[in-house]
Amino acid sequence: MWEMKEIRELKEGRYVNVDEEPCKIVKITTSKPGKHGSAKANIDAVSIFTGAKKSIVGPVSTKVQVPMIDKRKGQILDINGTEAHVMDSETFEEVYIPINDDAEQKIEEGAEVLYLVAMGRYKFM
């Protein structure tokens, strides 16, 4: 799920889709409008799931996709090697989430965890 916004509406710390990958915006620089056209923007972003650096360059009036990021709470039911079986605290939906090394919380059975959902993919916070 995503929505369309103009580049001028984006802010650092928010999210944007770059090459169908949800990314967190690290830096935005804009130039002022000149003799040959409108103001240009340069957006530097980091992928939420892979950590890869991505960028967008274009006029500030260009529309880009902004992913709908959903932050949820759940409980870990089981750990199978590189993924955890998690049950959502509100919907009781059960999902498998890959265990990432940069998680800020303990990933152990029975623990309450925060995770995010973006474009059908899951990640521990």
- Domain coordinates in residue numbering, the chain: 2-67, 69-124
Rounded percentage of the chain residues whose pLDDT exceeds 90: 78
Q: What is the pTM of this model?
A: 0.84
Q: Tell me, what's the pLDDT at 35?
A: 81
| Residue 106, pLDDT score | 83
Cα dist. 18→15, 43, 67, 112 in Å? 10, 10, 10, 31
> Superfamily for 69-124?
Nucleic acid-binding proteins (2.40.50.140)
pLDDT number for residue 60: 92
In the Cβ-directed half-sphere of 76, how many Cα atoms lie within 13 Å? 20
- What fold characterizes domain 2-67? SH3 type barrels. (2.30.30)
pLDDT score for 37: 82
**pLDDT tens-digit map of 86-106:** 999 999 999 999 998 777 888
